[in-house]
Structure 1
Amino acid sequence: MSLKITKLINILLYFFSLCCLQIGVAYSQDIKIMGAEIEWHKYYDNVFIKTSEYIVPKTQKQGDKIILDFTPAKVESFKVINKKSPRIKTVYSIQNKEDVGRIIIELKCPVKHEVASLYGKEEVLVEVSSSQAQVPVLIAEKEAKEPVENKKEEPLNKEGKLSYPSMKRDSLFDIKVASPLKEEKKLRQNILKGKVIVIDPGHGGEDPGASAFDGTKEKDLTLKTSIYLAQYLKDYGATVFLTRKTDVKKTLQDIAAFANKINADAYIGVHFNSLNRPKAGTETYYYTPNSFRLAALVHKRMVLGLKREDRGVRQMMFYTISRTCMPAILVEPVYLTDMQEGILAKSSEFQKEIAKSIALGVKDYFLR
């Protein structure tokens, strides 16, 4: 009897030891959270959380904090402070429970956020963007009282000047610019006849926007590119309105109110991108569901025409594209902070290629 009991005890001890070993292995296999990096962008922030392997965190928002819990995980202690971003204050870690590593993102203001675990990169991406609470209320009472007059646009004159309507329909201005379409046949000149399109060259005046390595300002490049784009669309037969004609700043409220008041068929905001870390490529933004198809078609044409990295179509609550009633998009063809793309952006030929690509996308949108 004692021998049987001894064998039974030995068997029990064996299984107990095996269980302890498995628990120890499981414990040693906890995923490690090794740090975080904040990528500041002029429109949004990306928080990259470095992990030892793929893991999907549980996310919650509490007051001015975004909390991500990783299970099972061990977290290294760290704290990242961001002085540039108007949205993120700090990102830090704590070991919330024995098997739960917690990352806390402290915010400076109300935000929207998206979380994605990047398979194969051992990273979790948190994209933080401004929320509706930050967007000022659109006040257009004054503009609504002003009558909208229908004026015919001036054709090319003998001196080769183009007359573009400014934001106010009762003022026209002349800009000397060589037509980028002079080498193309105009067999389909009127394919956009009857369509009203607002082009908004980003920034202006005291707002220079981003800067290239040599100091070239975004506001100057957006205006030049927008003028080419206006010519392309006019040659397709569209009625085109530019929101600014020179180096001046228009308020976002005025821009959105104007586009709504004239019942435009499309709004296109022209910008150039920037980032405080190496990044290049083409991005296109939309906000409302009825703007997605326009964004997708224009983006496709830009990627094909510019031959830069495809960084995708993104939904973002920028003021003008979230406060306009028509399909509205904001394009970021290249990054000024990338050396090669900054040089390209200054080239008139590349600006024409940007404009041509956008115009083709607009044409695709209205003809499908």
Structure 2
Amino acid sequence: MTMSLVACGGEDEAGTDSYTIGLLLPNRVTPRWEKWDKPLIEQRLKELCPGCTLVYANAGGDVDRQRQQMASMITKGVRVLILDPADSKAMRSSVQEAHNAGASVVAYDRLAEGPISGYVSFDGAQVGRLQGEALLKAMGGGGSVVMMNGDPVSANATWFRKGAMSVIEGKLKIVRSYDTVAWSTDNAHANMSAAIAALGSDRIGGVLAANDSIATGVISAFKTAGVRKLPPVTGQDADLDAVQRIVKGEQYMTVYKPFAAEAAAVADMAVALGRGEDVRDTTATTTVDSATTEDIPAVLLTPRAVTVGDIKQTLVKDGVYTIEQICTRKLRPACAQAGLSP
């Protein structure tokens, strides 16, 4: 799908730009990509570069499809590619292909291997630390935990886990640990069901779920097993259904990553690269290393933990959701108790 970014103001310099920027997102399982990231990036690009054109593709969780999508964009002469890799390692050859063709690649949210020109994300270690700290608090400082990690092909999954382990190691006993292929709710449900069957629900004091899609599968597995009193479960991405579960007391917390700030930062970097600027001098605030490349110019933003008492001053205040969106009719009593009445 191609969207022309028609003029809507911007600096005089932007009026002279007329190149193409590609946006490649990894899947449709995680609601934020289509609901927040894509429109926010498009909006910021319109402001910065009215004469530019955005070409968009979603891989639907299929790395081969993402390779094809990226190859098509390179063939069409896209100058800058914003890539959230479906598989950080497997996309390396595509990143190299783009580099060879003279196109710049900005890794978005997940670090890609190969000669990328920049990286924009949230501090993944801090995401994991926030999850670990919240779980440790909810569990009273000790107990047995099941680790429900992210997709092993994502560089972020390892980053999140390391951050969490830096907090909980030696304090919580890890009784099972699973990788969640494609961040799939169904895969998470199957893994959690296996843990419950092997251990018994009473031996699981908490679950460190890497994101909200995984938390969905975890919680449904407990319910399927007939567990009424759920252990604390973490999450990430502040999906609406996860926020509603937090209000109901089914999920303990999520990690909120202000999408507008991340989208704006990657658009800024993409436009700077499109204009031939050195992003080390303009948009980047730090550097990171990937498995293949050192000193990649980067922007790493700060995530925020959200429990039931934080929803109003974070997600509602920032306009992510209104109280009316969160508090459906069935949730109104729980919302009132949480201080979220309209």
Under a length normalisation based on structure 2, what TM-score does the superposition of the two structures give? 0.32
Structure whose CA Rg is larger: 1
- The structure in which a higher percent of residues are helix is 2
Under a length normalisation based on structure 1, what TM-score does the superposition of the two structures give? 0.30
Structure with the greater relative contact order (CA < 8 A, sep ≥ 6): 1 or 2?
A: 2
